């Protein structure tokens, strides 16, 4: 809906991380003030990677993929996140396959099922099962070109969606490593938001030439940036704990 009113999504991503930073810093101040003393160059570098993979990169890849393929294809590729994360964890020796145990076999079957399901839904083309007259498209501006886009754009959109899933998985891996060196959950969320805001701002300032897009009024754009930031912050902190 925000895209339909002509708003720049890259600018919206910047404001999202700005709001997220504003929400997380008070938690750090009241509950994890001592974490500042444990900041090192390694922790800051890991925070930079978290802001990149879990923030600026994956968010911009996601909105670019939505402009080239339908939301159905994009979400299908995002379902590969658990499978990609498992493969990366095994490759980096953070996870043992343990194929001789029921848990190991279940993880392997889940990974193969996720990859197979994504490939089938992405590559299979058939007749429409239901031809309903009701049509609701909340991403009309973002996906209207998708239905008539050339095959190259469709493939590129799928690659961007796959890149989004890979970025998410790398974020989980990096965040796990960072938690071992810096076990301060609110501080990790705050550092990730700060890094994501800086990186997103640099990207948006280079790509968005319309300065009016940076104006934030009391409208849907403000509501979206604030509400999404609060929700993602809550889910992120809950998952870390």
Task: Name the token pair of 209.
Answer: 């030439």
Task: Name the token pair of 3.
Answer: 């895209």
Which of 23-27, 176-180, 199-203, 222-226 has the least mean pLDDT?
A: 222-226
Alpha helices in the chain (DSSP H): 9-31, 41-51, 57-68, 71-78, 81-91, 102-123, 140-143, 151-181, 185-207, 220-240
3-state SS class at 214: helix
Closest CA to 55 of 140, 164, 147, 144: 164
pTM: 0.76
C-alpha torsion 149→8→232→236, nearest 10: 80
Question: Tens of pLDDT along 147-174?
Answer: 445 556 878 888 999 999 999 999 999 9
Report DSSP state, residue 218.
Answer: S
Question: Tens of pLDDT along 97-154?
Answer: 777 788 777 877 877 777 776 666 666 555 555 555 444 444 444 444 444 455 568 7
Tell me, rounded to whole angstroms, the distance of Cα 68 from its chain centroid: 17
């Amino acid at each position: 809906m925000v895209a339909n009113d002509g708003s720049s999504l890259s600018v919206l991503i910047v404001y999202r991380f700005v709001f997220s930073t504003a929400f997380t810093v008070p938690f750090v101040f009241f509950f994890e003030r001592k974490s500042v003393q444990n900041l090192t160059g390694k922790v800051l570098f890991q925070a930079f990677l978290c802001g990149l993979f879990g923030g600026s990169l994956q968010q911009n890849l996601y909105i670019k993929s939505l402009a080239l393929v339908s939301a159905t294809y994009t979400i299908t590729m995002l379902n590969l996140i658990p499978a990609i994360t498992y493969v990366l964890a095994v490759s980096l020796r953070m996870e043992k396959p343990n194929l001789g145990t029921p848990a190991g076999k279940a993880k392997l079957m889940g990974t193969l099922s996720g990859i197979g399901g994504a490939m089938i839904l992405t590559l299979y083309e058939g007749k429409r099962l239901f031809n309903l007259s009701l049509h609701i498209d909340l991403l009309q501006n973002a996906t209207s070109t998708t239905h008539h886009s050339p095959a190259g754009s469709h493939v590129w959109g799928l690659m961007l969606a796959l890149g989004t899933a890979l970025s998410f998985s790398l974020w989980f891996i990096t965040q796990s490593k960072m938690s071992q060196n810096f076990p301060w959950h609110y501080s990790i969320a705050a550092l990730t938001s700060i890094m994501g805001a800086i990186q997103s701002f640099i990207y948006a300032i280079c790509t968005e030439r319309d300065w009016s897009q940076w104006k934030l009024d009391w409208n849907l754009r403000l509501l979206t940036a604030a509400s999404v930031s609060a929700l993602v912050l809550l889910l992120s902190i809950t998952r870390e704990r």
